[in-house]
Every structure is written in C-alpha cells, then in structure tokens.
C-alpha cells in the first residue's frame, strides 16, 4: 500500500501506460481519478479497478480544453477535498489511427503542429495550472510528467511531437524549481519504445521494431514497467527526488 489514501489524477488512463498506472496506483491504495477523453475506455477502466476491490472514478476530460480541465479539478476537490498526485500521462503519437501527421518539420502542417503541442504540451500545462493551487494550499503535492526519449534526444521524423516532449522536460525542471518551496515535487519519465496501442502499428514494421529493440535489453518495454517508475516517483519513497528527468528505456539512450 505505497499510496494509501492518496488522491491521484492520471490523464490518459484509458489505455497503455496510463491504464497500467491506474491499476497499479489503485492496488497500492490510491483513489484514482481517470481523466480520459475516450468515454468507453475510461468507463471500462473504472469498472475494472472497482471490480478488483479498489477505488477509481472516471471523469471524461480533454486535457487540451481549459474548461474541461477546470471542471475536472473542481469535481475532484468536491469529491475528495485534495489532490496528492497528478500523473500528466495523456498524449497523442504515432498510431495510424491518429489523425495527426508525424513528420519532419517541413512536412508538418501548422494545424497538426498546433494540435500535437495542444495536447502533449499544453495539456500538461493546463492540468498543472489548475492542480497546483490545490497542492499549494495543502502544502504538499507530487506531479509526474510523461515525456519521451524524443524530449531529450534528437529523434527525427516527428518534430512536433519531439518539440512538445522537449517542452515537457523543460517544464518539469522549472516547475520543480518554482514549487519546491510548497513541498511539491515534479519529476519526469522519458519512456523508450513501450508496447501500447500508440506504437502498435509502428511495431508491425520490422525495420522500426528492430530499431526499438536496439537497446542493451534487446526488447521494447511493457506499460507496467512505466507504471512502476511512476509509482516510485509518486510515492514517498522518492521524497528527496525532484526535477529528475528519468529515462525508462531498456538502456536505449546510453548506447
Ligand atoms: N508508447 C510509447 O512507445 C511511448 C514512448 C514514449 C512516450 N510515450 C508517451 O507516453 C504517454 C502514454 O502513451 P501510451 O503509450 O500509453 O499511448 P496510448 O495511446 O495507449 O494511451 C494514451 C491515452 O491518452 C488518451 N488521450 C489522448 N489525448 C487525450 C486528451 N486530449 N485528453 C485526455 N486523454 C487523452 C488516449 O485516449 C489514450 O487513452 C504519452 O504521453 C506518450 O506520448 C509513449
């Protein structure tokens, strides 16, 4: 019970890494708020956690929409009176079902650039902007951001995504500096390739999957392996850790 009694908002908890984290956080005693824009996936996740005897509530949210975010935060405060953990996890990326073009800068239309930054960077900004005052008031809080190796390396071919994830890394550092005095910690995970619906199509391409498996551990990661990293950062076990940019990538970035 590493998160006993904590109120934890997880964005994008209907799929992949967010889903694995929601299940793990709930198992570890957190009251999990599933902030997800996909209604079916959010409801399913809520039911799964409740069926396992743990606590969760789904609140349909588009993290790129300010009024959605304020409504979410108000509802959570009404329900629980506090917010201990925010996992800014939701993002859009590489799947072919995504309507956004992942491409180098010259081939990226402005609309796609704006939409990708609007979710992957502005979403983390908006969620933090409305959750931080609650944490400041209670003089404690813990924010974990989900960036990507794209945020710290010159990974080509998805320049809007890469710029957004770089923004999340920079935002993590500055938030850690600005809000540490309120006993708020802010850390960031940079996953390597993780086997979720986001990269399911890319993994079908043997050249791409060979590249994803090129790290020392020779395989892609599992969503649960990100969830455990998030759990460590979200729990009191990491109480002296803030501003950390943590790759969880099977060593891909050190080769
Ligand atoms: N899978 C990877 O290889 C990989 C690698 C590095 C970083 N990441 C990052 O990890 C995070 C989680 O991705 P994943 O791999 O679990 O992908 P995923 O597609 O399985 O899950 C993303 C979830 O976010 C939700 N979402 C998207 N936009 C939203 C919005 N505007 N409002 C609310 N919910 C929204 C989706 O509905 C989905 O449930 C993302 O930020 C992604 O960029 C993924």
- 106 CB-near residues (< 8 Å, 6+ apart): none
pLDDT digits (tens, 9 = 90+) for 195-232: 999 999 999 999 999 999 999 999 999 999 999 999 99
Beta strand pairing call for 184-191 and 55-60: unpaired
Residue 138's SS3 state is helix
Domain presence at residue 202: yes
Per-residue confidence (pLDDT) for residue 97, from 0 to 100: 65
Tokens for 81? 């009176």
What amino acid positions are annotated as catalytic residues? 161
Domain of 24: which CATH number?
Answer: 3.40.50.720
Q: Assess if residue 2 is contained within a domain.
A: no
Atom of ligand 1 nearest to the CA of 42: 39
| Residue 253 belongs to some domain of the structure | no
Residue 146 has pLDDT above 90, yes or no: yes
Residue 12 lies in a domain: yes
Question: What is the distance between the alpha carbons of residues 244 and 190, in angstroms, rounded to a whole number?
Answer: 10
Q: Tokens 């993290």 sit at which residue?
A: 63
Angle at 74 between CA 68 and CA 77, to 5 degrees: 140
Q: What is the rounded CA–CA span in Å between residue 186 and residue 125?
A: 13
Residue 167 has pLDDT above 80, yes or no: yes
Closest CA to 137 of 185, 177, 183: 183
Residues 6+ apart with CB under 8 A from 161: 93, 94, 102, 116, 120, 148, 150
Percent of the chain with pLDDT over 70: 99
Q: Whose CA is nearest to atom 14 of ligand 1?
A: 16
Range of the domain at 37: 7-247
Pocket probe for ligand 1: among 11, 46, 91, the residue whose CB has the most ligand atoms within 8 Å is: 91
The residue to mutate among 33, 86, 93, 122, having the most atoms of ligand 1 within 8 angstroms of its beta carbon, is 93
Whether residue 128 contacts residue 143, with contact meaning beta carbons closer than 8 Å, is answered with yes
Q: Count up the domains in the chain and report the number.
A: 1
For ligand 1, atom 24: residue with the closest CA: 12
């Amino acid at each position: 019970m590493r998160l006993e009694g904590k109120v934890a908002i997880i964005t994008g908890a209907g799929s992949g890494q967010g889903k694995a984290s929601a299940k793990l956080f709930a198992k570890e005693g957190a009251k999990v708020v599933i902030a997800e824009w996909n209604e079916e996936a959010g409801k399913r996740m809520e039911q799964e956690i409740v069926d396992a005897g743990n606590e969760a509530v789904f609140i349909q949210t588009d993290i790129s929409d300010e009024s959605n975010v304020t409504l979410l935060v108000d509802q959570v405060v009404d329900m629980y009176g506090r917010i201990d953990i925010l996992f800014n996890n939701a993002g859009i990326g590489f799947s072919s079902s995504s309507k956004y073009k992942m491409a180098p800068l010259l081939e990226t239309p402005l609309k796609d650039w704006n939409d990708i930054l609007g979710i992957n960077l502005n979403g983390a900004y908006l969620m933090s902007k409305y959750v931080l005052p609650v944490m400041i008031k209670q003089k404690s809080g813990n924010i974990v951001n989900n960036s990507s190796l794209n945020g710290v390396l010159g990974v080509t071919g998805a320049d809007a995504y890469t710029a957004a994830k770089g923004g999340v890394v920079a935002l993590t550092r500055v938030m850690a500096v600005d809000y540490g005095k309120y006993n708020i910690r802010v850390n960031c995970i940079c996953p390597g390739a993780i086997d979720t619906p986001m990269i399911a199509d890319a993994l079908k391409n043997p050249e791409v999957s060979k590249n994803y498996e090129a790290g020392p551990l020779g395989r892609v990661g599992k969503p649960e392996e990100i969830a455990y990293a998030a759990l460590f950062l979200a729990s009191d076990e990491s109480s002296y850790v803030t501003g950390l940019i943590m790759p969880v990538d099977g060593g891909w970035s050190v080769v």
